[in-house]
Amino acid sequence: MEAVKLDVARVPQTQAPPKAPVESARSVPQEPSSPDPRQAEATIRALQENFRESVEAANERLAEAGQQIDISIDKATNTVVVQVRDRESGETIRQIPPEEALQVTRNIDRLTGILVDRKV
Which residue did the predictor score with more confidence, 53 or 118? 53
Taking CA atoms, 70 is separated from 10, 24, 41, 94, 101, in Å, by 36, 55, 25, 11, 18
- pLDDT bin (cut points 50, 70, 90) of residue 117 is low
Asked whether the whole model's pTM tops 0.85, one would answer no
Which residue did the predictor score with more confidence, 26 or 114? 114
